[in-house]
């Protein structure tokens, strides 16, 4: 037989009981608290999808700019919702990735077309010929 002490009153108990015979306290293991599973926020996924579409259409300035901008907007909306209710939503990494890829899909083609436009203007001014 095993002897244990009651955690509430300190009385010595014999056997494998979970209830004290003297003070009546019960020390069974509490049931684990179930936390709801956090859902991936829908705008986080949309953010990266639209940004990647914009990145792959980088040769068409209007489309990459439009999709990149939509990806950035969805990423920001997702981050706001995730930070307001972190116990319910997850997907912060997806949202940040969408914002970054959306920014790149706007900036990189913008630099490319800006440099090409600058060389085109300079070639018109200085009458450069292409070989």
Domain ranges within the chain, ordered by starting residue: 39-126
The pLDDT score that the predictor gives to residue 72 is 94
The residues near 129 (Cβ < 8 Å, ≥ 6 apart) are none
Torsion of CA 16, 20, 21, 25, to 10 degrees: -150
Q: What is the pLDDT of residues 51-61, one digit of tens each?
A: 888 888 876 76
Backbone phi, psi, residue 6, to 5°: -70, 130
Give the separation between CA 12 and CA 31, rounded to whole angstroms. Answer: 26
Give the separation between CA 20 and CA 61, rounded to whole angstroms. Answer: 77
Average pLDDT over residues 85-114: 89
Please, what is the angle between helix 42-56 and helix 61-84, to 10°?
A: 160
Tell me the longest C-alpha to C-alpha distance in the chain. Answer: 105
The pLDDT score that the predictor gives to residue 1 is 60
The pLDDT score that the predictor gives to residue 54 is 85
Whether residue 47 is predicted with pLDDT greater than 90 in this model: the reply is yes
Average pLDDT over residues 114-121: 85
Integer distance in angstroms from the first to the last C-alpha of the chain? 100
Average pLDDT over residues 11-38: 77
């Amino acid at each position: 037989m095993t002897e244990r002490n009651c955690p509430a009153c300190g009385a010595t108990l014999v056997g494998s009981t979970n209830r004290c015979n003297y003070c009546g306290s019960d020390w069974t293991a509490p049931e684990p608290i179930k936390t709801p599973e956090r859902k991936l926020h829908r705008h986080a996924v949309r953010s990266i999808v639209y940004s990647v579409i914009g990145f792959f259409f980088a040769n068409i300035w209007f489309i990459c700019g439009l999709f990149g901008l939509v990806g950035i907007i969805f990423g920001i909306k997702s981050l706001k919702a995730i930070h307001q209710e972190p116990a319910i939503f997850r997907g912060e990494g997806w949202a940040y990735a969408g914002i970054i890829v959306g920014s790149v899909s706007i900036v990189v083609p913008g630099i490319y077309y800006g440099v090409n436009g600058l060389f085109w203007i300079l070639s018109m001014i200085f009458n450069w010929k292409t070989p």
